[in-house]
A and B are shown apart, each in its own frame.
Chain A
């Protein structure tokens, strides 16, 4: 089955892998924003996670520990953001942007000497025989474990936010921090934990780029994936399954673009390259036209700092 010289099975399998970094980072950011914090430092946390994961994987020889290292590195960087915005009540937008710049510089410095090294190989989760099954094989069984992890995390995030007490508390803090505070919840502490979760998820996403997708370390390896993740969160109106759909759509277009070129399609490359960004703008315009912020699903306290003395 071929559509315009492109095998849809391979395309779907490819987009699932390509979208892992933006999916993980966007899931983390969705939780952060649901708790009422706008952290624009996703790109910075991703790139630091990419370096942290790479360094740990190279020194331990274990890709799994590498991903754990990426999570720790991303969470550690997010602590800077948490300290500035939750303790010192700095402006979240400015702090987030600064975090991205800081993360890019820090990773560039820390990555000196790691250029040109090969990290240990991240293996597929399931036996190769399963991946040989036509159609279902490459799509369902042919991936490394991080791809399954990303889908699992989508389900877990959705379940926790929607059905558990923790999720209810996170949403309460994000919708009305004053009310949540009046009920006795420690608003800033809950937000701190959400920020760290977002940092860890961005870090794992970054580590996927440096350990699986490329796999090597170079400066600025995430190349703007963090900004796409931020766009996807809004695109998905802060809902985990829509985040998955958005990430696959974005990943799908970027894979399709290269595949169409390889297949010798006549569609100009430039249009496909800009398609994801155009689509984000279109969705943002549609979603925000004539509707209130609440209708878009944005948490009511998004971007506002909280202090108990108020």
Chain B
């Protein structure tokens, strides 16, 4: 009798142990790996992702191990790096640039037990691939408001990286917000065709300044455009991109968009630790805290600062959408009707300029 009781309780304990692991596959220790497109020292995009990685380490201490690789080219090389990471025991791999989209999905097919998280992409071909993004265009609307009110030449500039939807959102939101406060504003766009090449970014900024542009927004990763703007001795202003870039305060850096990835990274790695991890597609903005607007400096008059902060707060409150109709496309065809706001699907596939922007989008 006693013996039977003992056996029963033992089997119960065994069952609980197995059952527990089958239900929630929480891990005791997570190896979280990060693939960066530039060096951490870029002071922008990659730096911000690395801040997120460090926040994960801080949040979970010994329970996580962080591994990262810098300056991984987008393309075939990325697949090699991802494969090495997956073979090297990574439980979750964050690929932090748009160009890693196909390599991420290709490698994810081979390693179904490893979780893949791709930033700014839209392909989730396998159950172990999640995507995450931030509504950077909300920040662009704040910058556009400042740009439209601050420009003296009525010429504002934008350094584009690649003509992908994320960048198109940024350009159009920036222009629409500037146009709203300054109907005479003209936008010049220069395509650098790189995420990170400081010499080229600096040359692009210089070309814009030479053309009379006095407010520059950059969609590339380094501080080079701000360094170039600084040479103009206060006549040209710009914005911190991805990171606060506070070294260029108070001018030329008058405000910034800060990508705040830390909460997302901490949440995802935490979910893996406690077994609640699920495939997801996250796209948060100012309201969700993923996009922060950096301190607006005193180089901007108080009323401009107030207007920009109102745009920020209205977007956060949900009362303002940067893309609110009536908006026409560059070719004059209708996009959004009066009062309509842009559906997410349109934004994720955006491949056109809005009416008023000159120039062609390179194919």
Contact = CB atoms under 8 A, between A and B. Distances in A.
A95 interface: no
A10 B202 CA distance: 16
B203 A116 contact: no
Contact of B210 (A10, A213, A219, A269): A10
Contacts, number: 92
B247 to A, nearest CB: 6
A262 interface: yes
B203 A269 contact: no
A280 interface: no
A209 B204 contact: no
A308 interface: no
Contacts of B203: 18, 213, 254-255, 258
Contact of A115 (B42, B204, B206): B42
Contact of B189 (A6, A214, A218, A261): A261
Contact of B191 (A221, A222, A261): A261
Size class of the contact patch on chain A: 20 to 34
Interface string A6-30: 1100110010001000000000000
Contacts of B275: none
Nearest to B208: A262
A268 B247 contact: no
A116 B207 contact: no
Which of B71, B188, B197, B211 has the most chain A CB within a 10 Å cutoff? B211
Contacts of A254: 203
Contacts of A270: 362
Interface stretch (B13-21, B141-149, B220-228, B293-301): B220-228
Given A14-B206, A216-B223, A263 B200 contact: no
B98 to A, nearest CB: 20
A218 B42 contact: yes
Contact of B198 (A218, A255, A268): A218
Interface string B199-218: 11011101110110100000
Contacts of B210: 7, 10-11, 14, 259, 262
Of B41, B47, B189, B213, most A-chain CB atoms within 10 Å:
B41
Contacts of B157: 262
A160 interface: no
**List of 9 A-B pairs having minimum Cβ-Cβ separation, nearest first:** A115-B41, A258-B207, A262-B211, A116-B43, A214-B198, A264-B358, A264-B359, A262-B207, A261-B190
Interface of A: 5-7, 10-11, 14, 18, 114-116, 118, 209, 213-216, 218-219, 221-223, 254-255, 258-259, 261-264, 266, 268-270, 273
Given A6-B211, A214-B224, 20 more contacts: A11-B210, A18-B203, A115-B42, A116-B43, A209-B199, A213-B202, A214-B227, A216-B198, A216-B223, A216-B227, A218-B39, A219-B71, A258-B203, A258-B207, A261-B189, A262-B210, A263-B211, A264-B188, A268-B362, A270-B362
